Structure 1
Amino acid sequence: MTGRRRPISPRPFRLLTGAVAAGALLMTGCGVLPGASGDSREPVTVVTWAPSGASGPDATNMAGMTAMAQTYASWINQEGGVDGHELRVVTCDEQDSSIGAGNCARRAVKEKAVAVLGSYSRHGRAFMAPLEVAGIPYIGGYGASEEEFRSYMSYPVTGGQSALLAGNAKQLAATCDRVSLVRPDTLGGDSQAWLLNTGLAEARRPAPVDVRADEGATSYDAAAGRALTGAGEDGGCVTAVLGDRTETFFDSFRRLEPAGGSVRISSVLGSIGQPLIDRTGGRDSPFEGAYVTGWYPAPGDARWDLMRDVISKHAFGDNRIDPDDTGVQTTWIAYTALKSIVESLNEADITSRKVTKALNGGTRVDTGGLTPALRWRYEDMIGSSSYPRIVNSKVTFQVVRDGRLVADSKNFVDVTKTLSDASATG
């Protein structure tokens, strides 16, 4: 988004259909919803935040996540609510800033939210402390901040970028004789290199050629040259994990690679996704044939059908929501997880304390196969000092074929050992 930024005052999204007949009045307060068990069930308030009006060359905007939260509320309330509770969704523009993240967290406290769901922020230090003080669980964040995998009030649904890098090593080890890794020249980038090296070593593959690159570069010709030399002309692979700059790197790489070259390219979701493939030409995209490691099933998998149907019926024409976007998918999964938790409680009044107790007590969360079944007991965590809150260390292998991300492996792939080994020796 470009242009002059103006302050955005997030407003609660409140929609509840009390009857399906035309002209029926919207219900407010704590009335009994269709499908409720007969007791008076209080509304359940949750918060979802993401940057939607951020500006600047390095700004990230994820407006589809808050839009997906609103769409979920519209749908579930027409279905009778979450176990009979009206779902009240408050959205907040995080503005891709620490001030914005802190303000959104304080908004969650003010609204007495039972949880923060399916949100995106790179500023974990700013938002996690207010949530910890108020006892509000953070469920299913995008994984963009380290605190999401460390805070005792965070309940991640994926293993974050660490799991993706560990999985990417396994995916590449199956076919690549040599690997060049292009990554940011930062401490986080150092961790990426170590994870990829650990995974390749487990498969008895050579260590990757470590190509450090400037996160803010507008051209990557030099890095592309080093990566191509490291991969070799036959049987080698180049994997790049540069976030929004990954496209820029592969533009430089394609200009250097010999016509018809056999070097395979690769990345992880968040750096490459279906929206980027579509935007760069679909079948004619430079990412055709690329290996991609993800958290969830490929976009065309039947397990996404319910989400797609909900978007089609309740967000028709809302171009903020792309069902192939990983952020939108993460928000859907987080709300699915909350539904499972609230149903397990089966109480008239849902509080953040009750939700947290259910999470810590081992309530089993079913996400419809979009992730393995989730639990956040101590014994469910992988036991790694570097990633103490990860309970889902499984990833998916995908490949770009005919312009679409499709499954490269039928099942989830467990990378617990790689994460544990990297943590123990890093």
Structure 2
Amino acid sequence: MTGWRRPSFPRPSSPPRPLKNAGIAGLAMAAGATLLGGCGQLPGTSAPARGPVVVMTWAPEGTKATNMPGMPAMAQAYARWINKHGGLGGRELKVLTCNDRNNTVGAGRCARRAVAEDVVAVVGSYSQHGGSFMPQLEAAGIPYIGGYGLTDEEFGSPLSYPVNGGVATLLAGNGQQLAGGCERVSLVRPDTIAGDQMPSLLNAGLLAGDRRRASDVRAPESATNYARQGELALERAGADPALGAAEYGAKADGACVTAVLGDRTDTFFDSFRHLQEDRPKVRIASVLGSVQQALVTRTGGRSSPLDGASVTGWYPVESDPRWAPMRKVISENAFGDNRIDPADPGVQTTWIAYTVLRAAAESLEGGDITSESVRRALDGGVGPDGVDTGGLTPKLSWRYEDMLAVRGFPRITNAMVTYQEVRKGRLVSTRDGFIDVSKTLEDRPPEG
């Protein structure tokens, strides 16, 4: 991990020492009981009432770019479920939600509200604007558990506890996946700050497979037509649409186009399909989140332009039986909420993030659940083996020794991906188990 130093964060002060004098201790306890008689104690009880554990989940909704309404909806369904089963550490779990509106102002507003509401953690959330929300959470000591994995801050802040390897692992994994058959690759990606880091990550996977670097095709994040970007992608992959049919066919063999445009990925591939009509098809690819089962179904199923696409994901395919507990919670507690798609990687990330929160709370064994105690539990690994997510990820732990030596992403502890393909209208696994891309990321060549 050359050149990187672990970020420092002020450690909370040690708890006060117990009173040694039994008489003084007794007087103190009596005084406390008298005070509780006036407030904070339920009538007829001998213990103070404990309020709910308040957390927040945020994501963009109703914007012209990527929207993730299923994440806050999943968080609310999780709260309904766990509160039916005794709550979180015996206390009610209360989930606040916020719309970050895909802009820095909205992200900052959500963070300020989290601080004002004194939440224990921000859990299972999506935002592209880490620079707007993370400093405020750090100042208040609020942990950020299970972000979607879009921003540098999520993999740099000591208060961030990512459950996946973010876009970094998806792009590196996609590069490795494409290296097994692609001679020339074009990457179509958003012309944004988050998009600017994508080429080097995809290239890490391609270079690991002894392939050349991909051609970089920038695209507007909220366009309604991507015909021009499709033409550029084909041209730079060697299959120029202006070529004659015979020459185009020869060039198409070995040419690949991968598009990572979030909600606009289907718009791109719709434009791309028209460019390839009556021509040999080039191999297409994407990453989970930009392509998911709902999109394949919505765009035609077996006749979808995405059929045959190679897709890299973080988790097992949505039909995997390991998702059964999440599906049960959704069916029993989401009340027909059509915002929640069990195949949505955002929904899946939120489920795993709340699994982590629950494990941290249970590790406290009845102790108070606060932002400080949750941080301490997570920093200690939540037990000797980490958090068991039921096989949806490796066991998760954020101790110093669990961090990988990935330049620019020091908080990555889970660098596993899955290889999938759209086949006859369904996303299916093309390789059993997880693929570890940690070495690919650690050996990533410098950008430029």
TM-score bucket of the superposed structures, by smaller chain:
0.7 to 0.9
Question: How far 1:353 sits from its partner (Å)?
Answer: 0.5
Alignment of 1:92-241 (within 5 A): 92-186=98-192, 188-229=194-235, 230-231=237-238, 232-241=251-260
Distance 2:58 2:197 in 1: 27
Separation of aligned partners in 2, 1:215 and 1:90? 28
Contact 2:150 2:194 in 1 (8 A): no
The residue aligned with 2:22 is none
Residue 129 of structure 1 aligns to a residue whose secondary structure is: helix
Q: 1:202 to 1:146 in 2, by over 3 A?
A: same
SS at match of 1:142: coil
Q: What SS is found at the alignment partner of 2:257?
A: strand
Residue aligning to 1:45: 54
| Secondary structure, aligned partner of 2:432 | coil
Deviation at 1:42, TM superposition (A): 5.6
| Cα contact 2:219–2:229 (8 A) shared by 1 | yes
Partner of 2:24: none
1:419 lines up with 2:434 in the alignment: no
Q: For 1:194-227, what per-residue CA distance to the aligned partner results, in whole angstroms no more than 9, with x for missing partners?
A: 2222211111123323333343443332332232
User: What code does the residue aligned with 2:408 have?
Assistant: S
* Counterpart-to-counterpart distance in 1, 2:184 and 2:359: 44
The structural deviation recorded for 1:261 is 2.0
Q: TM (normalized to structure 2)?
A: 0.81
Distance 1:331 1:339 in 2: 12
Indicate which of 371, 393, 400 corresponds to 2:415.
393
Flag structure 2 segments of 5+ consecutive residues without an equivalent. 1-39, 239-250
2:313 maps to 1:307: no
Cα offset, 1:392, TM superposition: 0.9
Q: Does 1:290 align with 2:309?
A: yes
Partner of 1:369: 391
Residue 370 of structure 1 deviates from its aligned partner by 1.1
* 1:92-150 deviation digits (Å, cap 9, x = unpaired): 23233323222222222232221110011222122112211111100001123321111
Q: What amino acid is aligned across from residue 360 of structure 2 in structure 1?
A: I
After superposition, what is the alpha-carbon deviation per residue over 1:346-374, rounded to whole angstroms, capped at 9, x for unaligned?
A: 12421110110111112211111111111
Q: Is the 8 A contact 2:122 2:145 kept in 1?
A: yes
1:382 alignment partner, one of 389, 394, 404: 404
SS of equivalent to 1:104: helix
Decide which of 68, 72, 78 is 1:66's aligned counterpart. 72
Question: Are 1:42 and 1:350, in contact at CA under 8 Å, matched by a contact in 2?
Answer: no
CA-atom RMSD in angstroms? 2.3
Name the structure 2 match of 1:349: 368
Structure 2 distance, partners of 1:51, 1:189, is 18
Task: Pick the aligned partner of 1:326 from 345, 360, 366.
Answer: 345
Letter in 1 for 2:351: W
Give the greater-gyration-radius structure (CA). 2
Measured in 2, the distance between the counterparts of 1:106 and 1:150 equals 20
- Structure 2 distance, partners of 1:312, 1:395, is 27
- Count of residue pairs brought into register by the alignment: 389
Among 243, 249, 270, the residue aligned to 2:262: 243
Does the 8 Å CA contact 2:297/2:304 hold for their aligned counterparts? yes
Contact 1:30 1:42 (C-alpha < 8 Å) held by counterparts: no
Q: How much has 1:235 moved relative to structure 2?
A: 3.3
Amino acid at match of 2:319: G
Structure 2 Cα separation of the partners of residues 402 and 349 of structure 1: 51
2: distance between equivalents of 1:171 and 1:341? 35
Distance 1:67 1:375 in 2: 26
> Given the superposition, is the C-alpha separation of residues 100 and 219 from structure 1 closer, same or farther in structure 2, using an over 3 Å criterion?
closer
Is contact 2:152–2:408 with CA below 8 Å preserved after alignment?
no
Change (3 A) 1:128 1:407: same
Match of 1:360 in 2: 379
Kept in 1: contact 2:123–2:147 (CA 8 A): yes
Q: Secondary structure at the match of 2:444?
A: helix
1:320–1:188 Cα change, 3 Å: closer
Moved more, 77-86 or 383-392: 77-86
Distance 2:336 2:41 in 1: 31
Q: Tell me how far apart the structure 2 counterparts of residues 307 and 85 of structure 1 sit (CA, whole Å).
A: 21
How far apart, CA to CA, are the structure 2 residues paired with 1:318 and 1:421? Answer: 44
Q: Partners in 2 of 1:115 and 1:156 — Cα distance?
A: 13
Q: Which stretch shifts more, 374-383 or 94-103?
A: 94-103
Shift of 1:395: 0.9
Deviation of the 1:258 alpha carbon: 4.8
1:77 and 2:83 correspond = yes
* Residues 361 and 402 of structure 1, relative CA distance in 2, 3 Å threshold: same
Partner amino acid, structure 1, of 2:253:
D
Deviation at residue 303 of structure 1 after TM alignment: 0.9
Q: Structure 1 unaligned runs (5+)?
A: 1-28, 32-37
- The CA distance in 2 between the partners of 1:242 and 1:70, in whole Å, is 28
Letter in 1 for 2:353: A
Per-residue deviation at 1:191?
A: 2.4
Equivalent residue of 1:113, what SS? coil
- Identity across matched positions, percent: 60
Q: Which residue type is aligned with residue 183 of structure 2?
A: D
Confirm or deny: 8 A CA contact 1:30 1:43 kept in the other structure.
no
Report the Cα distance in structure 1 between the residues aligned to 2:195 and 2:331, rounded to whole angstroms: 39
Q: Partner letter of residue 278 of structure 2?
A: A
More displaced 10-residue stretch of structure 1: 220-229 or 158-167: 220-229
Change (3 A) 1:252 1:341: same
